[in-house]
């Protein structure tokens, strides 16, 4: 099977096709051609898994596990071929058979096992870990369906299941022999062990579910280091309690891994969500502990060998579960167990939005996980005691408690049980320590630290923008491809007129690519000679897609009323999914589509503007969209967007940030300088100061532009039904505009005008873009991962020469 030349690849491909499908290459379908190739690359990658594991087995060095309910991987074929250095060889080998590799690449569906930024961050981290030759594996759920697929029907979002496993997942390997039993429901039986004088806790009458792991290789670039993403799948156990309703049991088992939770909350959904959370951490910990005990006599040194990063609070029950394992399965005393457990976990917070902070009703956890709940209670009891002893402040105890008001605060559990707590951008971490977690910061300041997010430049620049990669390589040499800090060499050439022109040509080529993608997939026509102004991210009120479309509405009115109006032709592109139960977000999607339709049907307006809502925004769309854009819309209400990572993808591909001082925009603006981005609007502290006396109606009354734009939400301009957008109108005017859209509107209009001015001089514009690219090294996830290693994980880089 091994191949390292074109000829050996071709022979292996012929043989693999026969072995897999009993066909010759001429007889095979496109899907069979694709699957055969994937199978070969998987085998290649797995041989590197073997080398990596072999080495780690010998050295017994510390490993990090990234526990995350989401890994938004996207497609893997291109990325894996590129990282393995096999792309060209395979491309030309296939061409000899008359097979176009691009066509096979397009057969792969996105692995959409996540909602948005949090899941994509986890995927970027895996790429950087393997590339930096660090022992770091992912742990997650093998969802049967990814995040829903979005259709736009009559201008509205419609959700349909994302059947990502329809063609099978050619990258994974099932390991039935490594299955772990996970228990739900039942109750705790307490008995006295008279020999030891200790109480025995046993989880009895439980419903048992079998967690079966599927491993995917995570291939590093230019190295044999290959890590694992372990995905757990729930299957029926043959250990059923008597009288169990068999079909009901199977249905319950199947529900656990059915789909990615789209962050909306129904009661029934909450139970399933808690099951998901416990399921994948119990299975993950089960296999980590087993693995550890194969090499070590006890769990005493677990914290020297294992570090677990909790991606948000979703895996927070890990803390109680590891306590349970140590107390109940291995007979540890509480204090000894706690001293080990609290050195294993580190917690990353990804949001300050109170609606998104997990709090589970006590009753739910107690019903589902009686023993784990009793351990959470004990952690809470002891923590309350510690806080009281130190402070003698009962209010403080209540504010910091883990269990409060009949709810378990998962963030508090995470902070108490972890040795490190980090935010994901400088401003975000500042808000955590000043505000959201202030009491904790005062109590245990040493735990808190910042790790500004990053993105993998391999997927987001080198592989998805080959034209820019080539231009950069010609200008500054190839070193930046393997050491991204070298990209800064570009800075000395930003005034080079030829480079500026060449950059604009590359951008135009990428625009053509996006146009082709939109035409082929959605039959959408876009003028590649227009400014591409893009907002692509989940739809949330705080991200203010509404402000963006209100600005377009304002432009529309100007076109219709001012005879001499002119502006550079602009395409406003949107990509966004709304949680299925998020009514306002769905209305905003409808509004965007209705405005798009109105403008398309109005030749006078269509001369200047086009609005495009790209359906089913996902990783693959982002790969086309980000690098074709000129303007990057990052316009959240200051203080609300923890970091953002799309902002980094745009920047790295030479788009200008039109943004508020929020999340990582702050650090982008620090690096490129205020003159190389377009920052506008109220700052986080100004938003907080305004909050108590903000009256949105005043802005509406005092600014005729706002009044006209907002009024057209309810005067049938964009919908034949007058009350179609009344919810949006009410949100702004009656419910006082929680996210300060109207307060920032005037500044936003001005910022757009300035952007147009800058764009009017191609040399000025190209220079801005080049500075942004040159300054993007800091936003590589390679940098982020190195920071985690240095401050939190303390894992050791593997030598390339040890992986042969
Ligand atoms: C936020 C909200 C806001 C209100 C309604 C419900 C809801 C549900 C989920 C969330 C976000 C949850 C956590 C999350 O995905 N955070 C994102 O993490 C990214 C990676 O760190 C970061 O770049 C984004 O700024 C942050 O929103």
pLDDT in tens, 643-669: 999 999 999 999 999 999 999 999 999
CA dist 532 to 507, 611, 650, 753, 785, Å? 10, 10, 12, 15, 32
Buried-exposed string 336-347: b where 16+ CB fall within 10 A, e elsewhere: ebbebbbebbbb
d(CA 750, CA 610): 20
CA of 115 to the centre of ligand 1 (A): 9
Q: What are the tens digits of pLDDT across the range 687-710?
A: 999 999 999 999 999 999 999 999
Would residue 607 show up in a list of annotated catalytic residues for this protein? no
pLDDT value of residue 477: 98
Would residue 350 show up in a list of annotated catalytic residues for this protein? yes
Q: What are the tens digits of pLDDT across the range 324-362?
A: 999 999 999 999 999 999 999 999 999 999 988 999 999
Would residue 537 show up in a list of annotated catalytic residues for this protein? yes
d(CA 679, CA 635): 9
In three-state secondary structure terms, 98 is: coil
Instruction: Name the residue of 262, 270, 315, 356 to mutate for ligand 1: max ligand atoms within 8 A of Cβ.
Output: 356
Instruction: Name the residue of 72, 114, 347, 353 to mutate for ligand 1: max ligand atoms within 8 A of Cβ.
Output: 353
Q: What are the tens digits of pLDDT across the range 140-188?
A: 999 999 999 999 999 999 999 999 999 999 999 999 999 999 999 999 9
For the chain, the structural domain boundaries read 60-74+109-453, 457-779
Instruction: Name the residue of 115, 642, 667, 781 to mutate for ligand 1: max ligand atoms within 8 A of Cβ.
Output: 642
Q: What are the tens digits of pLDDT across the range 415-436?
A: 999 999 999 999 999 999 999 9
User: What is the SS3 string spanning 399-462?
Assistant: HHCCEECCEEEHHHHHHHHCCEEEECCHHHHHHHHHHHCHHHHHHCHHHEEECCCCECHHHHHH
d(CA 304, CA 238): 36
Nearest to 233 by CA among 272, 274, 276, 262: 276
- Say what angle helices 466-476 and 497-522 make with each other, to 10 degrees: 170
CA dist 678 to 233, 517, 546, 613, Å? 46, 29, 19, 24
121 lines ligand 1 (CB under 6 A): yes
Nearest to 286 by CA among 56, 67, 69: 67
Span 717-742, average pLDDT: 97
Asked whether the predicted pLDDT for residue 23 surpasses 70, the reply is yes
Nearest to 484 by CA among 499, 473, 498, 495: 473
Would residue 538 show up in a list of annotated catalytic residues for this protein? yes
CA of 126 to the centre of ligand 1 (A): 20
d(CA 445, CA 467): 47
Beta bridge partners of 190: 201
Q: Which of 275, 544, 557, 649 is catalytic?
A: 649
Q: Whose CA is nearest to atom 1 of ligand 1?
A: 356
d(CA 546, CA 539): 9
CA of 218 to the centre of ligand 1 (A): 25
DSSP state of 257: T
368 neighbors 274 (Cβ within 8 angstroms): yes
Asked whether the predicted pLDDT for residue 670 surpasses 80, the reply is yes
742 neighbors 694 (Cβ within 8 angstroms): no
Please give the span between the terminal C-alpha atoms of the chain, in angstroms, as a whole number. 17
Burial of 313 (0-12, 13-18, 19+ CB in 10 A): buried
Share of the chain above pLDDT 70, in %: 99
CA dist 202 to 208, 209, 287, 329, 371, Å? 14, 17, 20, 9, 8
Q: Whose CA is nearest to atom 2 of ligand 1?
A: 356
DSSP count for the chain of H helices, then E strands: 34, 25
Span 747-770, average pLDDT: 98
540 lines ligand 1 (CB under 6 A): yes
646 lines ligand 1 (CB under 6 A): no
At 244, is the pLDDT very low, low, confident or very high (cuts 50, 70, 90)?
confident
Please state the CATH superfamily assignment of the domain spanning residues 60-74+109-453 in this structure: Glycogen Phosphorylase B; (3.40.50.2000)
Average per-residue pLDDT in the chain?
97
Category of 523 on φ-ψ map: left (φ > 0), alpha (ψ -120 to 50) or beta: left
pLDDT value of residue 316: 98
d(CA 478, CA 472): 8
Q: Whose CA is nearest to atom 8 of ligand 1?
A: 356
At 673, is the pLDDT very low, low, confident or very high (cuts 50, 70, 90)?
very high
pLDDT value of residue 240: 79
Q: Which of 543, 544, 586, 767 is catalytic?
A: 543
Instruction: Name the residue of 350, 424, 650 to mutate for ligand 1: max ligand atoms within 8 A of Cβ.
Output: 350
At 269, is the pLDDT very low, low, confident or very high (cuts 50, 70, 90)?
confident
- Torsion sign (Cα): 281, 287, 290, 294: negative
In three-state secondary structure terms, 174 is: strand
CA of 310 to the centre of ligand 1 (A): 15
At 598, list the tokens: 């109105």
Residue given tokens 């602009």 in the structure block: 570
- Torsion sign (Cα): 15, 20, 23, 25: negative
At 246, is the pLDDT very low, low, confident or very high (cuts 50, 70, 90)?
confident
What is the CB neighbour count within 10 angstroms for residue 194? 7
At 803, list the tokens: 């992986």
Q: Which of 183, 203, 538, 551 is catalytic?
A: 538
User: What is the SS3 string spanning 274-290?
Assistant: HHHHHHHHHHHHHHHHH
Buried-exposed string 476-506: b where 16+ CB fall within 10 A, e elsewhere: beeebbeebebbbebeeebebeebbebbbeb
The four Cα atoms 227, 232, 233, 239 give a dihedral, to 10 degrees, of: 130
Q: Whose CA is nearest to atom 24 of ligand 1?
A: 644
For residue 772, what is the enclosing H or E element?
A: helix 762-774
At 265, is the pLDDT very low, low, confident or very high (cuts 50, 70, 90)?
low
605 neighbors 560 (Cβ within 8 angstroms): yes
Q: pTM score, two decimals?
A: 0.98
Nearest to 122 by CA among 146, 145, 136, 138: 138
pLDDT value of residue 365: 98
Length of the chain: 804
Asked whether the predicted pLDDT for residue 263 surpasses 90, the reply is no
Q: Whose CA is nearest to atom 9 of ligand 1?
A: 356
Asked whether the predicted pLDDT for residue 676 surpasses 70, the reply is yes
Q: How far is CA 295 from the centre of its chain?
A: 34
Asked whether the predicted pLDDT for residue 321 surpasses 70, the reply is yes
d(CA 278, CA 314): 9
pLDDT value of residue 804: 86
Nearest to 645 by CA among 779, 514, 774: 779
717 lines ligand 1 (CB under 6 A): no
pLDDT value of residue 264: 60
Q: How do beta strands 570-575 and 111-113 pair?
A: unpaired
Burial of 752 (0-12, 13-18, 19+ CB in 10 A): buried
**CB within 8 A of 494, min separation 6: which ones?**
500, 767, 770, 771, 774
CA of 515 to the centre of ligand 1 (A): 30
320 neighbors 334 (Cβ within 8 angstroms): no
644 lines ligand 1 (CB under 6 A): yes
At 197, is the pLDDT very low, low, confident or very high (cuts 50, 70, 90)?
confident
Share of the chain above pLDDT 90, in %: 96
Atom number in ligand 1 closest to CA 642: 25
Q: What are the tens digits of pLDDT across the range 145-154?
A: 999 999 999 9
Q: Which of 36, 52, 645, 784 is catalytic?
A: 645
Nearest to 360 by CA among 349, 352, 371, 368: 368
| Residue 745: HSE in the Cβ half-sphere, 13 Å Cα cutoff | 29
Would residue 544 show up in a list of annotated catalytic residues for this protein? no
781 lines ligand 1 (CB under 6 A): no
Instruction: Name the residue of 68, 264, 351, 788 to mutate for ligand 1: max ligand atoms within 8 A of Cβ.
Output: 351
Q: What are the tens digits of pLDDT across the range 443-463?
A: 999 999 999 999 999 999 999
Q: What are the tens digits of pLDDT across the range 86-101?
A: 999 999 999 999 999 9
- Say what angle helices 583-600 and 726-733 make with each other, to 10 degrees: 110
CATH code for the domain defined by 457-779: 3.40.50.2000
At 679, list the tokens: 């920052």
The reply to whether 457-779 shares the fold of 60-74+109-453 is yes
Q: How far is CA 714 from the centre of its chain?
A: 36
Would residue 173 show up in a list of annotated catalytic residues for this protein? no
In three-state secondary structure terms, 207 is: strand
d(CA 305, CA 371): 26
In three-state secondary structure terms, 564 is: coil
């Amino acid at each position: 099977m091994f191949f390292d030349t074109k000829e050996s690849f071709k022979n292996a491909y012929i043989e693999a096709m026969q072995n897999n499908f009993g066909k010759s290459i001429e007889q095979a379908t496109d899907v069979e051609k694709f699957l055969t190739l994937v199978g070969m690359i998987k085998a290649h990658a797995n041989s590197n898994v073997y080398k990596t594991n072999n080495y780690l087995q010998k050295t017994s060095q510390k490993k990090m596990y990234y526990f995350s309910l989401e890994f938004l991987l996207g497609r893997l074929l291109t990325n894996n071929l590129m990282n393995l250095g096999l792309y060209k060889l395979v491309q030309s080998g296939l061409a000899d058979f008359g097979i176009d590799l691009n066509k096979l690449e397009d057969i792969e569906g996105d692995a959409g096992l996540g909602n948005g930024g949090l899941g994509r961050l986890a995927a970027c981290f895996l790429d950087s870990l393997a590339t930096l030759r660090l022992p770091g594996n992912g742990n997650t759920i093998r969802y049967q369906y990814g995040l829903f697929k979005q259709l736009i029907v009559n201008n509205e979002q419609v959700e349909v299941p994302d059947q990502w496993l329809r063609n099978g997942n050619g990258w994974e390997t099932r390991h039935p022999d490594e299955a772990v039993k996970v228990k739900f429901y039942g109750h705790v039986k307490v008995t006295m062990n008279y020999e030891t004088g200790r109480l025995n806790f046993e989880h009895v009458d439980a419903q048992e579910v079998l967690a079966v792991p599927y491993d995917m290789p995570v291939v590093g670039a230019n190295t044999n280091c290959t890590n694992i993403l372990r995905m757990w799948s729930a299957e029926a156990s043959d250990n059923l309690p008597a009288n169990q309703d068999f079909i009901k049991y199977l249905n319950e088992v199947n529900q656990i891994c059915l789909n990615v939770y789209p962050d909306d909350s129904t009661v029934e959904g909450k139970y399933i969500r808690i099951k998901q959370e416990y399921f994948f951490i119990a299975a993950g910990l089960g296999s980590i502990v087993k693995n550890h005990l194969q090499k070590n006599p006890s769990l005493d040194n677990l914290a020297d060998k294992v570090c677990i990063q909790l991606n948000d609070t979703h895996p927070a029950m890990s803390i109680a579960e590891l306590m349970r394992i140590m107390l109940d399965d291995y007979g540890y005393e509480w204090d000894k167990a706690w001293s080990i457990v609290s050195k294993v976990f580190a917690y990353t917070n990804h949001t300050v939005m109170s609606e998104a902070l997990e709090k589970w009703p006590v009753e739910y956890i107690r019903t589902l996980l009686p023993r784990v709940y009793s351990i959470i209670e004990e952690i809470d009891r002891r923590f309350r005691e510690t806080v009281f002893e130190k402070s003698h402040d009962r209010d403080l105890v209540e504010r910091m408690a883990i269990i409060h008001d009949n709810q378990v605060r998962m963030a508090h559990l995470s902070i108490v049980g972890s040795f490190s707590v980090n935010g994901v951008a400088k401003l975000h971490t500042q808000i955590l320590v000043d505000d959201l977690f202030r009491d904790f910061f005062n109590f245990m300041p040493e735990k808190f630290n910042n790790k500004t997010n990053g993105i993998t430049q391999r997927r987001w620049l080198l592989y998805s923008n080959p034209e820019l990669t080539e231009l950069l390589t010609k200008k500054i040499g190839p070193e930046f491809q393997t050491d991204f800090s070298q990209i800064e060499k570009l800075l000395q050439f930003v005034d080079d007129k030829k480079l500026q022109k060449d950059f604009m040509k590359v951008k135009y080529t990428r625009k053509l690519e996006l146009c082709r993608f939109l035409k082929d997939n959605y039959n959408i026509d876009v003028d590649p000679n227009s400014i591409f102004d893009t907002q692509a991210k989940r739809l949330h009120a705080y991200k203010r897609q509404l402000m963006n479309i209100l600005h377009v509405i304002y432009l529309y009115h100007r076109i219709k009323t001012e005879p001499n109006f002119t502006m550079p032709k602009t395409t406003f592109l949107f990509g966004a999914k709304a949680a299925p139960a998020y009514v306002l977000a769905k209305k905003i999607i409808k509004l965007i589509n209705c405005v798009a339709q109105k403008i398309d049907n109005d030749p006078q307006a269509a001369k200047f503007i086009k609005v495009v809502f790209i359906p089913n925004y996902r990783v693959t769309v982002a790969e086309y969209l980000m690098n074709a854009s000129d303007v990057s819309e990052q316009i959240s209400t200051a203080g609300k967007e923890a970091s953002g990572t799309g902002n980094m993808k745009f920047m790295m591909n030479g788009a200008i940030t039109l943004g508020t001082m929020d999340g990582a925009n702050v650090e982008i603006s620090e690096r490129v300088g205020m003159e190389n981005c377009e920052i506008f609007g109220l700052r986080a502290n100004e938003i907080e100061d305004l909050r108590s006396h903000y009256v949105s109606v005043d802005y509406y009354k005092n600014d005729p532009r706002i009044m006209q734009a907002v009024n057209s939400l309810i005067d049938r301009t964009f919908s034949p039904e007058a009350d179609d957008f009344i919810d949006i109108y009410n949100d702004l005017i009656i419910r006082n505009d929680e996210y300060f859209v109207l307060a920032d509107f005037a500044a936003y209009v001005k910022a757009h005008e300035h952007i147009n001015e800058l764009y009017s001089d191609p040399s000025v514009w190209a220079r801005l873009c080049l500075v942004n690219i040159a300054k993007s090294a800091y936003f590589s996830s390679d940098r982020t991962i190195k920071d985690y290693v240095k401050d939190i994980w303390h894992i050791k880089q593997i030598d390339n020469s040890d992986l042969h």
